[in-house]
Chain A
């Protein structure tokens, strides 16, 4: 294999809060394997999902466009537009890569399927059971990796783990509050509530009311404790996949892209789960690793979107980047870092949508603008107010900033090639 054409592992978690990592300084979770991965490449801390709900985000990963363009806007069982090739189909046409898929697809109808355009599916997951599904998804990925030494041609392995999404099953199962201190847990064992736990955002029809009003603070803290155990389950599977690469000598020839489809509210604003564009829900872990080719760096400044995954993989694979992709390849930036002459991507803002086409986020270097289809707006200074508790919209001194972000959103929306039937978003 030519040195410049790596094997590629696209490894994803599901519903992974961006700070649910030991390496993020979180003392309530133990993630040695994900930390090992993030510590070997470029870890981007300002990375965002293009749509913080499973199906729309995943369809964006694999088609390179927004949900309002590919059509799966709300986990509503709509397959992405057939005229949009999947990443697998594109690489099949424009490269010599073998394209293998394991795990949760959910880019359209049937989350767990054995027929995906452009990919050879070696094993799916299990609907609503990551606890049992993830070890199998990881094992088949490990088996694939361990059996590739001496095989011809580069490969793209997509491994989509299902954890920590099973936290949703806790909520679905329990019509009574989460338990407080079962199994001998002490109150001191439970993580504290986030500082924005009691912050109520302005009412909007587009985002749900705070969840679980019957829960006590201890119920909430047990929820956080449970969530971190789910993350640790996932971490173990990441470890077995990484070890397979290391032990077969393929780590140095494999580019790894690691991220999650969305985050988890984790009690912020008394919310659980996702599907809003506050950071807890829309911000995700993100790393690109390739020892010796991608520098080891903690990048706290560069804005990254899940839309960037497909163009980045195409670029590293030596395939052309489709003109209709909405994201950018991160390869030129990473190459410039490796060369010691950093050239930041030519992009000063990114956009995310919410499920059912009800909201938008514009994230710029220091600010976040949120707009909902009912006309409500929020503007935050993310440097001084990372928990998004102080809305700047009504403050006259920020009117220019507000208008600038409104303008960026109008510009973005005007460029979209909407799926038939998806209404234009009512920008301000």
Chain B
């Protein structure tokens, strides 16, 4: 591999054999019901060492279901492999299951949610470490109970959660309204103010797999710039953030489940893309 390539863009991901062939374009409606699964992939970009340690370290699956009251339900399942390297069979997993009731507004603002964290070690759930956030937003406040204890925080102005942006961006593209300033409430645990979402036209390109791709960037406090890459139907095959990427792969969740269930090594990395 050319050591001078600059991670991470869709083009770089393709050269690193990390991308999948095209998404099912005809079936996607930003406002409809859809399910999208991503591999959580990281580049370990050692110069001149071929990025050999790059690997998948988890999965993120989001399911959108419209509901009657001008909103939609977003179900999230994220699994992160907490390990040193792909040759280790045993380790830990951080699993998050979330159900979020979102408004049909530009940022898919959360209205109610339940987020459950589960920690696994050597394939066994640590049952003595439950962690559940349940909350709702009203009157400029976020009210949550965390393992049964109440927390009330003020929140002013537009806001959303990181997962909700995966559902918001396709609708933004459709509406042609891609620039927003807001607070991001990461996993409903910590708010990050001063986020700015905007189209980054200079990065737009045409992919041989996905056709014309639009880049929408996010920059703000508490995080490095994120690029969201959308095709012309609003599907989002990639999200890139420094050395990490979410890469659409409808089998990602199943693959991670199988790795954990069967205790096999993580050998599904270097897939040839014709």
Contact = CB atoms under 8 A, between A and B. Distances in A.
Contact of B82 (A125, A128, A142): A125
Nearest to B220: A229
Interface stretch (A235-243, A255-263, A272-280, A338-346): A235-243
A174 B131 CA distance: 38
Q: How large is the interface on A (under 10, 10 to 19, 20 to 34, 35 or more residues)?
A: 35 or more
B7 A230 contact: no
Contacts of B131: 139, 142-143, 146
Contacts of A185: 219
Contact of A132 (B40, B92, B151, B200): B40
Contact of B84 (A110, A182, A235, A244): A110
B221 A30 contact: yes
A294 B149 CA distance: 27
Given A131-B241, A239-B190, A114 B198 contact: no
Interface string B99-123: 0000000000000000001010110
Contacts of B48: 175
Interface in A132-150: 132-133, 135-137, 139-140, 142-144, 146-147
Interface residues of B, number: 58
Nearest to A138: B189
A128 B42 contact: yes
A124 B82 contact: yes
Contacts of A233: 222-223
B237 interface: no
B130 interface: yes
Nearest to B218: A183
Interface string B49-67: 0000100011000000000
B129 A169 contact: no
Interface of A: 30, 110-114, 121-129, 131-133, 135-137, 139-140, 142-144, 146-147, 166, 169-170, 172-176, 182-185, 226, 229-230, 232-233, 235-237, 239-240, 243-244, 247-248
20 contacts: A124-B91, A127-B44, A129-B243, A129-B244, A140-B117, A143-B131, A147-B147, A170-B242, A170-B243, A172-B45, A172-B46, A173-B7, A173-B243, A174-B45, A226-B224, A235-B222, A236-B190, A243-B151, A247-B146, A247-B149
Given A131-B241, A133-B80, 9 more contacts: A123-B82, A124-B84, A125-B82, A126-B82, A129-B244, A131-B242, A172-B45, A232-B221, A232-B223
Interface of B: 3-4, 6-8, 40, 42-48, 53, 57-58, 80-85, 90-92, 94, 117, 119, 121-122, 126, 128-131, 146-147, 149, 151, 186-187, 189-190, 192, 196, 198, 200, 217, 219, 221-225, 241-244
